[in-house]
Amino acid sequence: MEASGFEGSGRPFAVCGDELCCSGVGLRALAQEFGTPLYVYSGDQIAERARLFQDAFAGRAHTVCYAVKANSALAILRLLGEMGCGFDIVSGGELARVIAAAGPERARQWCGRVVFSGVGKTAEEIDAALAAGILLFNVESESELELLAARAELLGRKARFALRVNPDVFAETHPYISTGLSAHKFGIAIGLARAVYAQFRDHAWVEAAGVSVHIGSQIRQVEPFQASVDRVVALVRELRADGFDIRFVDAGGGLGIEYGAAEFDAAAQVSRYAEALRSALRDLQAHLLIEPGRFLVGQAGALVSTVLYTKRNGEKKFVITDAAMNDLIRPALYQAHHEIVPVMQVAGAAAETVDVVGPVCESGDFFARDRELPELEQGDLLALLDAGAYGLSLSSNYNTRLRPAEVLVTGGEAKLIRRRETYEELFAPEMV
C-alpha cells in the first residue's frame, strides 16, 4: 500500500521514509527493541479523539466515560483520566484498574466519574464500587436493583442508580455486538422501567438519579443513537413528572470507526453524533454521559508481527505470522476485517494473494483470507491496523502463548506500557 492510501483514513499510521510509522515514530525500531507481536498505540490520537467528544458537547453538562473494556491499559486510562474523562466499567477488575491508574491521591476523584454497567454484577463487585464512591450504577434488572439496595444498606452507603433501558431500537452492526433489541439480554424493557423506578421510590439506600441506554457497538449511522435517546428523554420526562430527581442521561457508547480502505473523517462523525444526541435531548436539562470505547482507541492502535514462514498448500499461499488469534481475536470471532500493511515499504513490490494466519492450532486462527499483499518473506514485519480496541483486552494465553507487549507513542516519544509476560507469571497461580 502506498503512503497515499492512508491519507484521510483517520489513522495515525503513515509511511515516513521507507517504513510505516505511528505518529511519526518508526515501527521497525520499536519491533527490534520490544520484539513482536507488539501493540503500538498513538496516545496523541487517543487524546485527540477524546477532545473531539469533549468539544462537541461543550456548553452542555457532560462527561465522556471511556469504556474501559475497549482497551484497559493503565497508561491509557491515566491519559484519559488526566483529560477529565470518566470511565464506564463492567467488572470489579476494571474498577481496580481505574483506581490503579488514578493513584491514591486521585482515586476518589476519578471514581466519582465512574459508571458501572453490566448484566451480572456480583455482591463483591457492588461492595467495591460502593466503597469507591462511584457516580452511577447502571442497573440491568430488578433483581440486581434489589441486591444493590441490600448491599448499600449493609454498607451504609447510599447508591445512585440509572436503569439501563432496552429501547428496542435496531442498529446495523454485527449480531454479536448489537444490544438494543428486546431479544438481547441487556437492560430492562423501556415499557416496564417506570414501574421498576416506582417500586424503589422511597428506598432509603438507593436513589434513582438517571436513565441509561446502550444499543451496541461499531454503529456507523447516528440515527439509531438519536432514536434511543429520544425514547430515554420521554422516559426522563415521565419520571420527573412522577417526582424523581433524574439528573443523568447516559447515552452509552457504540459509535463505529472505519476498518476498511474508505476515507474517514472522525471529527465530522463526532459532530454528526453530537448533533443527533443534542436534537434528541432538546431542552432537557440533564448531565449527559457518553461511553465511547472503540472510537477513542480503535484506529489508534496496530498489532505489529513478524512473518515466521510462508508456504503453499495447493492453490493457496499462506503467510504465517508470530501473532495469532489469541493476540487479536476479532477476525476469528466477528469475521472482522483489518487492513494489513508491510512495515517496510518496497517500491514496485509484486502483489500476490495470500491467507495471513497465526500459529495457533485452530483453522479459525486467521487475520485475512485471499488478501492481496506485496510479496512477503520470512522476517518481514506486518502491521494489522485498527487493532487498538478489543485487541489486547480480548486477548488470551491460549496455546500457552505470552500476550503481546504494548507501546504508547505520545509527542513523538514511544514508551513501553506493558512488557511481555513470562512463563513464570503464567504458571504462578497454578499448583501441581
Ligand X SMILES: Cc1ncc(COP(=O)(O)O)c(C=O)c1O
Q: Does residue 88 bind ligand X (CB under 6 A)?
A: yes
The answer for residues whose C-beta is within 8 angstroms of residue 148's C-beta and 6 or more apart is 121, 126, 137, 139, 159, 161, 206
Instruction: Give the span between the Cα atoms of 381 and 365, in whole angstroms.
Output: 18
Spatial contact of 123 and 147, defined as CB atoms under 8 Å apart: yes
388 binds ligand X, rule: CB under 6 A: no
Which listed residue (70, 101, 132, 152) binds ligand X by CB under 6 A? 70
Residue showing the smallest CB distance to ligand X in the complex: 293
Q: Identify the residue among 45, 71, 91, 117 touching ligand X (CB under 6 A).
A: 117
| Pair 78, 101: CB distance under 8 Å | yes
Q: Spell out the alpha helix ranges (H) of 26-136.
A: 27-34, 43-56, 74-82, 92-102, 107-111, 123-132
Active-site residue 65, yes or no? Answer: no
User: Does 280 contact ligand X by CB under 6 A?
Assistant: no
Which range touches ligand X (CB under 6 A), out of 10-18, 200-208, 251-259, 312-320?
Answer: 251-259
Q: Toward ligand X, which CB reaches closer, 9 or 218? A: 218
Instruction: Report the site for ligand X in 210-249 (rule: CB under 6 A).
Output: 214, 217-218
Site string for ligand X, 291-330 (x = CB under 6 A): xxxxx-----------------------------------
C-alpha–C-alpha distance, residues 268 and 8, integer Å: 12
Nearer to ligand X, 67 or 98 (CB): 67
Instruction: Write down the least CB distance from residue 154 to ligand X, Å.
Output: 26
Interacting stretch for ligand X, rule CB under 6 A, among 142-150, 238-246, 252-260, 359-367? 252-260
111 close to 134: Cβ distance less than 8 angstroms: yes
Binding pattern for the stretch 253-272 against ligand X, x by CB under 6 A and - elsewhere: xxx-----------------
Q: 183: Cβ–Cβ under 8 A, 6 or more apart, which residues?
A: none
> Smallest Cα–Cα separation from 160: which of 119, 112, 195, 121?
112
Residues recognised as catalytic: 361
Q: Which residues bind ligand X (CB under 6 A)?
A: 67, 70, 88, 117, 214, 217-218, 252-255, 291-295, 389
